[in-house]
Amino acid sequence: MTGVPAPGLGLPLAHGVGSRHDLPLSPFYAYAGAFAALLVSFLALGLLWSSSRFRGDEAGRPLPTSVQRVADAPATRTALRLLGAAVALFFLLHLLLGPDDPDRNPAAGALYVLLWVGLVPASLLLGPVWRLLNPLRTLYALRPPRNPRPLPAAVGIRPAAAGLLLFTWLELVAPDNTATTTLLAALAVHLGVQLLGAARHGDRWFAHADPFEVYSSLLARLSPLGRRADGRLVLRSPFHGLDSTPQTPGLVATVCVLLGSTAYDGLSDNPRWITTLQTSSLGPTATATLGLLAVTALAAACYGLCAGALRLMDRSLATPLTSFAHSLLPIALGYLVAHYFSLFVTEGPRTVIMAGGTDNALAPASPLGPGGLATLQVAAIVTGHVLGVVAAHDRSVRLFPPARAVAGQLPLFVLMIAYTLGGIGLLIA
């Protein structure tokens, strides 16, 4: 949500400084640089990378035993659970007792900035941190079910994908989305769904259905800190972690929600779209909802067409949708950095200051000027796509015969060019 939010949508938490459309960046150089980076990486990989090099959860250099002992100690896990519960209680008390004013109450900033955006750097640096902090797991542990039912394998992480879509609707579309009544209603629905699901299926439910836990766990695939298949805590190349992403049902839907929601975030700042919202006979909320769904569906449809083309090129590829879905994760990460960096470094400290008791705290100035911010945004998107090309190429040379390994990833390469140009276009158009 960089720039001025659309009137009537109740989004006072602007994602950045100024309007994206005024950023001093030449569209020609942005498009040309992005296309050149993708093309050079694709050609270099085709010439120099003929066999798979990523070993998934078999790779990694073990950390010292003392470090693993501390990380896995029950006292450490308990302390993290208590920390998560204490922060959640602090957030709830502000919702219940604090003023209904986002300039005086840190609750909205805690949800939309510290949690949603803060999980990105936290998960990249430390791994799947929300699984350790999740206050819902603490509540669950107070009274776990005696005979939980197994969660059907076909469910996968589809519930989390639906939860992420609902959360992004709350963040980007819902009217009065910082009002305490709105946040309390959303919290009640979230608690009800998660605790009822856990009461039926046990604590495995959270790993499949809690949107924040799944979100953090997927981002953690790009962390240098991870676990090997034998349980050892290791340092590894993020590519190995990315390669170990489970091909679970719902993975494509989850990643496409991340791609589509950040794309809609960019679209929501477009003057033409703002005019559409203001003049639509359906009203701004209904129109924005359809826009969010349409952009997400477009991201999914493009990937679906790509997967269909892969299947046509090699009938032996049994799971074209999930086989390459992991390569979309760095792309989603690039979009998240591009769209939320400025929000995190400005509204994040402001939220912390308000939590300390200061009303109407001023957000600090962004460490980057408009030119630096524009460069960072484009660089994040291009870097994410280049990493996606590398991940897709390594998977391609593993799955396709040598004679078709490069040609087999052409549909993915075309898709990534389309995603790249579209993402940059939403930033600077």
State the CB neighbour count (10 A cutoff) for residue 120.
Answer: 18
pLDDT of residue 220: 95
Interval 330-359 mean pLDDT = 86
pLDDT of residue 428: 67
pLDDT of residue 248: 92
pLDDT of residue 346: 86
Range scoring the smallest mean pLDDT among 55-59, 189-193, 254-258, 286-290 = 55-59
pLDDT of residue 374: 79
Q: Is the pLDDT of residue 23 over 60?
A: no
Mean pLDDT of the chain: 85
Q: Is the pLDDT of residue 57 over 80?
A: yes
pLDDT of residue 5: 40
Interval 248-252 mean pLDDT = 93
d(CA 381, CA 384): 5
Task: Tell me the two tokens of residue 421.
Answer: 């140009």
Instruction: Give the C-alpha distances (Å, rounded to integers) separating 427 from 270, 280, 372.
Output: 9, 24, 14
d(CA 160, CA 304): 20
Q: Which of the residue ranges 52-56, 81-85, 424-428 has the most confident prediction, judged by mean pLDDT?
A: 81-85
- Sheet strand arrangement including 61-62: 61-62, 233-235, 225-227
Q: Which of the residue ranges 1-5, 40-44, 195-199, 367-371 has the most confident prediction, judged by mean pLDDT?
A: 195-199
Look at the block and give the residue holding tokens 């693993």: 68
DSSP annotation of 128: S
> Is residue 34 helix, strand or coil?
helix
In whole angstroms, what separates CA 184 from the centre of its chain? 23
Q: Which of the residue ranges 258-267, 394-403, 410-419 has the most confident prediction, judged by mean pLDDT?
A: 258-267
pLDDT of residue 16: 34
Instruction: Give the C-alpha distances (Å, rounded to integers) separating 58 from 61, 169, 237, 328, 397.
Output: 10, 38, 12, 22, 19
pLDDT of residue 22: 47
In whole angstroms, what separates CA 125 from the centre of its chain? 15
The DSSP result for 310-378, as a single string, is HHHH-TT-S-HHHHTGGGGHHHHHHHHHHHHHHHHHHHHHHHHHHHTT-TTPPPPPPSS-HHHHHHHHH
Which residue did the predictor score with more confidence, 362 or 64? 64
The DSSP bridge partners found for residue 388 are: none
Task: Tell me the two tokens of residue 195.
Answer: 């605790």
pLDDT of residue 183: 94
Interval 58-69 mean pLDDT = 92
Could you tell me whether strands 61-62 and 233-235 are parallel, antiparallel, or unpaired per DSSP bridges?
antiparallel
Interval 237-241 mean pLDDT = 93
pLDDT of residue 221: 94
Pick from 285, 343, 258: nearest CA to 2: 343
Q: Is the pLDDT of residue 316 over 80?
A: no
Q: Is the pLDDT of residue 2 over 80?
A: no
Interval 133-155 mean pLDDT = 91
What is the crossing angle of helices 119-126 and 329-355, to 10°?
120
Burial grade of 108 (CB within 10 A; 0-12, 13-18, 19 or more): buried
DSSP annotation of 180: H
Interval 162-180 mean pLDDT = 93
Interval 213-227 mean pLDDT = 95
H or E element, residue 297:
helix 284-313
pLDDT of residue 3: 38
Q: Is the pLDDT of residue 212 over 90?
A: yes
pLDDT for 409-418, tens place per residue?
A: 788 888 888 8
Please answer whether residues 303 and 254 qualify as being in contact, where contact means their C-beta atoms are separated by less than 8 angstroms.
no
pLDDT of residue 101: 85
Look at the block and give the residue holding tokens 């940059």: 424
Q: Is the pLDDT of residue 218 over 80?
A: yes
Task: Tell me the two tokens of residue 370.
Answer: 């408009």
Q: Identify the band that residue 24 occupies on the pLDDT scale cut at 50, 70 and 90.
A: low
> Is residue 75 helix, strand or coil?
helix
pLDDT for 362-383, tens place per residue?
A: 777 777 777 788 788 888 888 9
In whole angstroms, what separates CA 164 from the centre of its chain? 9
DSSP annotation of 177: T
Q: Is the pLDDT of residue 164 over 90?
A: yes
d(CA 225, CA 124): 8
Which residue did the predictor score with more confidence, 202 or 375? 202
